[in-house]
Amino acid sequence: MIDIKENSRLCSVCPNMCRDFCSVAGATRHEADSPKHKGAFVKEVIDEKNSLDAAMVDYFYRCAMCKACREACETDLDTSELVLSARTGVKGDLIPSKLGAVRENIVSGNMYADELSDLKSLLKPHLAKGKAHTLLYFGRKLRCEGLAAITGILSLLDKLNAEYSVMETEPDTGQLAYFLGFAEDARALAETCNREIEALHPQTLVVFSADDLRMIKKEFTGPGLSQTIPVIQSVPEFLLELINKMKPAFKDTTEKVSYHDSCALGRELRVFEAPRELIRNVPGVTLVEMAFNRDQAPCCGYGMGLDITHPEIKAKMAARLRIMAMQTGATTLVTGCPVCSIVLNAAAVTDMSDQNSGGIEIIDIAQFLERRLIV
């Protein structure tokens, strides 16, 4: 457990190394958005040299909690932990107005409007009945916006004759509430989620959304699923084991492919090599890395509520990342987390058009493999 007071004192005021790693500061070009300044705001509040006001609170929500700045900092200052503690301390009228309604929707389970209408029939043949040996968990964002991603992974698993189950309705892991600073709501949601998943006695839980996986594996501090489920995996880890076992054939193709490390899957959960190994499994593929990758990979912009509080910053971050991918010369950008694909596909790139670069397709790892599999 990180000591927030101690952490807030770690900045040695180096030449602002963290700023260049911060996707938010890169997108806005505001010095006050740099991790160093956000950390200084939190320190002022902790040291009671300044009290919270609306402008300061706004800066706490201009952070994707991606932890890229920690990688740059020689003293290991973790700005995202400072920001999280600051968000948790924001109460009453200082809670940004947009978040009041969001909080109600999170607690009532209505966060991203209704689930996709086609989802029910897609999931029906695979619903868990009683016990589920291998259980897939998609996450709310995907169940509402990720039909292609869910269709892709189910089709891939069916072609590989994999056995798996899904839930008719999924409980919320509490990740969004947690990162927005609603700690008590998050804990209640996480406990309900744990109970409902544990009731199915899975031996393996495969979590599609990287932020939900981060919540389950790293952020929930109680006696959670990590204690009761033998294996909790990301989709790339699960698929790599499956493909190594089944050894399916893939179409021979000549293409340049790049890979985006999601903040949660990469920096936080250290899943760097499994997706790259899966991509290299396809004959004829050349994997080309972006200028910033692995620990230094930028955030796509979805991070931890930024898409709700500051969608304009999210859009710029996604566009910058998309341009970085296009600069590799790749025709396909693969993501380990399908939420990143959804965000990046929605990004409008105006200063370097897809046409000029020959276009880039952005898909998650399951869809990438499914389309290249020889049935």
Residue 41 interacting with ligand SF4 (CB under 6 A) = no
Going by C-alpha positions, the residue among 322, 374, 366 that lies closest to residue 155 is: 366
Residue 3 one-letter amino acid = D
- Residue with Cβ nearer ligand SF4 (77 or 106): 77
Containing 206, the helix (H) or strand (E) segment is strand 204-207
Residue 32 interacting with ligand SF4 (CB under 6 A) = no
Adjacent-strand bridge partners of 287: 257
Q: How many CB atoms lie within 10 A of CB 47?
A: 11
Closest contact distance (angstroms) between CB of 266 and ligand SF4 is 13
Residue 290 interacting with ligand SF4 (CB under 6 A) = no
Q: How many CB atoms lie within 10 A of CB 199?
A: 12
Residue 79 interacting with ligand SF4 (CB under 6 A) = yes
Residue 51 interacting with ligand SF4 (CB under 6 A) = no
Residue 181 interacting with ligand SF4 (CB under 6 A) = no
Residue 324 interacting with ligand SF4 (CB under 6 A) = no
Residue 343 interacting with ligand SF4 (CB under 6 A) = no
**Given phi > 0 = left and psi -120 to 50 = alpha, else beta, which region is 13?**
left
How many angstroms from the chain centroid is the CA of residue 295? Answer: 14
Q: At 329, phi and psi to the nearest 5?
A: 85, 5
**Given phi > 0 = left and psi -120 to 50 = alpha, else beta, which region is 252?**
beta
The interface region with ligand SF4, picked from 71-79, 93-101, 140-148, 197-205 by CB under 6 A, is 71-79
Closest contact distance (angstroms) between CB of 14 and ligand SF4 is 3
Closest contact distance (angstroms) between CB of 271 and ligand SF4 is 18
- Residue with Cβ nearer ligand SF4 (64 or 271): 64
Between CA 337 and CA 342 the distance in angstroms is 9
Containing 5, the helix (H) or strand (E) segment is helix 4-8
Residue 77 interacting with ligand SF4 (CB under 6 A) = yes
- Residue with Cβ nearer ligand SF4 (70 or 143): 70
Closest contact distance (angstroms) between CB of 346 and ligand SF4 is 19
Residue 39 interacting with ligand SF4 (CB under 6 A) = yes
Containing 37, the helix (H) or strand (E) segment is helix 35-46
* Whole-angstrom Cα Rg for the chain: 21
Residue 216 interacting with ligand SF4 (CB under 6 A) = no
Residue 18 interacting with ligand SF4 (CB under 6 A) = yes
Where on the chain is the footprint of ligand SF4 (CB under 6 A)? 11-14, 16-18, 21-24, 35-36, 38-39, 63-69, 72-73, 75, 77, 79-80
